[in-house]
Amino acid sequence: MDSFPLLAKGNKAVNQDRLWDDLMALGNITEPGMPYTRRSFSEMFLKGRDYLRHAFEKAGMTTNVDENGNLIGRLEGTDPDAGVLMIGSHSDTVPSGGRFDGVAGVVAGLEVVRALYDAGVTPRHTIEIVDCLAEEMSEFGLSCVGSRGMTGHLQPAMLDYTGPKDESLRSAITRMGGDPDVISQETRDDIKGYLELHIEQGRVLESEELDVGIVTTIVGITRIEIIVTGLPDHAGTTPMHLRKDALSGAIEVVAGIRDKAKELSDAGEGYFVATTGEFYLEPNAANVVPSQVKLVIDTRAQTRELMETFLTFVREEMPALAMAQGVEVSETKILSDSLHTECDEGLGNLLLEAANELGLTSKKMTSGAGHDAVFFSRIAPTAMVFVPCRGGRSHCPEEWSEPAQLAAGTALLFETLRKMDAR
């Protein structure tokens, strides 16, 4: 059997225009009047999958939808015992999202196989390109449905979650071509490696003018709800010194959280961010002193130590910031708390080696967003490639990566797959 074609700088096997054409074609498969929308479980989503299935088959792959509703394109390898090397991401979008988040990774996988096909090369391992079902938060209140399923993390109770028109997730997965009755906590043991390309959704690569990012860690995410409570006094008749203004306490809490996050971020002990993204004022009337503010804090950390340091601040120091303004923190609740994910060090080094061979500038970095890779990391060596996106914008129609940036990332996938296949 032939080996992979040896490629390096300029990787000619990956065809930038073909890759781009697919992305633009899929962008056109959108809910009319609200580009770019292809929500999981929708008819439009299935139209996008029809496009992908056809393209997978044209590239020499067989296709099927697994029990979890994932669309899989499969290219059999020469060694049936070698197992599967997988490239995955997702083709669903948020409402009025972009043309790159998710689908760029699926199309990159497709292009890698097409490049192999064009070169007449059959790898030793079987290659699977996976369009994971419903990576974005779905209308069933669950994200990463397909990658959870394939890795044994789709709990039976989750199948009873309901969405629009009271449909169960079980029924919706069936509509997508899955078979929820055979979903189990057993996981596939044939996956020898998982790679995922994704736009960065941030400005780090752009601001440092780098070609690609090699993800070593995916952050843990902890969400915290804080309620600050004062008294709803008349805004005209209550002198400043008699007020218990919940907003006045809440702004000190927000400032404290911001400043603590900056301190932890600057400490050089790993990636850390905290965001007060939700802010609800009551009664929100011009002539009433605010009586209550509810905050939702989204916190992301590369290590548990960083997260614990922050949570200690929230528990022990934050309430005093509100009390200094004469109001109370009446509730502090952890809404959700997930651990960070370490990517496979060996795969990360292979990616770095390949990037260097291709002449791509790169850095190892932390992903501040969750991805299907989080779940695959629990059952197989996993790594991710980030490509830059303009202004860091994502989940919006302005989301943009240059064709050459996407092609560079795809070439990196190709080269790394070659190295993995040779191991």
CB of 59 to its own copies, least distance (A): 31
Q: Phi and psi dihedrals of 318, rounded to 5?
A: -60, -45
CA angle 214, 73, 161 (to 5 degrees): 80
CB of 290 to its own copies, least distance (A): 6
Dihedral sign for Cα atoms in the order 55, 61, 62, 65: negative
Nearer Cβ to its own copies, position 44 or 288?
288
Report the first-to-last Cα separation within the chain, whole angstroms.
16
Residues that bind its own copies (CB under 8 A): 200-204, 207, 219, 221, 223, 231-242, 245, 247-248, 251-252, 254-255, 258, 261-262, 265-266, 271-273, 275-281, 284-290, 296, 298, 300, 367-370, 391-396
Q: Tokens standing for 421?
A: 């296949």
Nearest CA among 237, 254, 256, 258 for reference residue 246: 254
Question: How many CA atoms within 13 Å lie on the side-chain side of 373?
Answer: 33
To which H or E segment does residue 40 belong? none
Nearer Cβ to its own copies, position 149 or 319?
319
CB of 292 to its own copies, least distance (A): 12
Beta strand 382-387 pairing with 212-218: antiparallel
CB of 224 to its own copies, least distance (A): 10
Q: Phi and psi dihedrals of 194, rounded to 5?
A: -130, 130
CB of 318 to its own copies, least distance (A): 14
User: What ranges make up the beta strands (E) of 154-309?
Assistant: 191-199, 212-218, 220-229, 272-282, 292-301
Nearest-angstrom CA–CA distance, 116 and 407: 15
What dihedral do alpha carbons 394, 395, 399, 404 form, nearest 10°? 70
Nearer Cβ to its own copies, position 233 or 344?
233
CB of 389 to its own copies, least distance (A): 10
CB of 140 to its own copies, least distance (A): 18
Is the CB of residue 2 less than 8 Å from the CB of residue 349? no
Nearer Cβ to its own copies, position 27 or 370?
370
Nearer Cβ to its own copies, position 21 or 278?
278
Nearer Cβ to its own copies, position 165 or 241?
241
Tell me which long-range contacts 50-58 makes (C-beta under 8 A, separation of at least 24).
Answer: 51/25, 51/26, 52/26, 52/91, 52/106, 52/110, 52/131, 55/22, 55/110, 56/110, 56/113, 56/129
Nearest-angstrom CA–CA distance, 318 and 313: 6
CB of 255 to its own copies, least distance (A): 6
CB of 34 to its own copies, least distance (A): 16
